């Protein structure tokens, strides 16, 4: 199975770095993962040849910072309001729904959202978000290892 792991965000905007921090940790663990700005059309192109996509991004749902949420985006619409932190007017949620309308979703698309709070320019990610990104990366690496060992 062809996996693609994408971490969206901007490491110069505080907690918006959540996805980027997670993929950097994954690479430290020997797992191939890509950093991405979250621009919608480029996301659709990025996952065009993958069977299983994991996308990680900062979200705002009202939960405590560092809370990890999970969506199966291949089978249900994405909660657009959760991804309102994007600096793009057409971001992750819009990419998923456009890809769904165009029949360009990968067979499996899991989105992990890390609850964020602070997005100031020049800020670093909070301790809660950085810890959650590391924990999520460890969890994903373990999951991929288990799946790979079964194949």
Q: How far is CA 13 from the centre of its chain?
A: 16
Q: pTM here?
A: 0.89
pLDDT at 88: 47
Residues of the chain with pLDDT under 50: 87-88
Q: In this predicted structure, what is the pLDDT of residue 80?
A: 59
pLDDT digits (tens, 9 = 90+) for 84-121: 555 445 678 888 888 999 999 999 999 999 999 999 99
**Sequence-ordered list of residues with C-beta below 8 angstroms from that of 77, at least 6 positions apart, any chain:** 96, 97, 100
Q: What is the CA radius of gyration of the chain?
A: 14
Give me the residue spans of the domains in the chain.
3-150
Whole-angstrom distance, CA of residue 19 vs CA of residue 10: 8
- Domain at 3-150: CATH code: 3.40.50.1450
The pLDDT score that the predictor gives to residue 83 is: 61
pLDDT of residue 37: 82
CA distance 57 to 69: 10
């Amino acid at each position: 199975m062809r996996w693609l792991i994408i971490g969206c965000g901007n490491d110069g905007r505080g907690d918006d770095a959540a996805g980027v921090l997670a993929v950097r940790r994954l690479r430290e663990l020997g797992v191939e993962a890509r950093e991405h700005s979250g621009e919608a059309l480029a996301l659709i192109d990025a996952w065009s040849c993958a069977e299983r996509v994991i996308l990680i991004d900062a979200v705002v749902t009202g939960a405590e910072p560092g809370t990890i949420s999970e969506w199966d985006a291949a089978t249900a619409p994405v909660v657009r309001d959760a991804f309102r932190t994007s600096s793009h007017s057409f971001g992750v949620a819009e990419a998923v729904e456009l890809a769904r309308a165009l029949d360009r979703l990968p067979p499996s698309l899991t989105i992990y959202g890390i609850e964020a709070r602070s997005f100031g320019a020049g800020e670093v990610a909070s301790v809660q978000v950085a810890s959650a990104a590391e924990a999520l990366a460890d969890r994903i690496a373990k999951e991929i290892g288990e799946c790979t060992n079964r194949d």
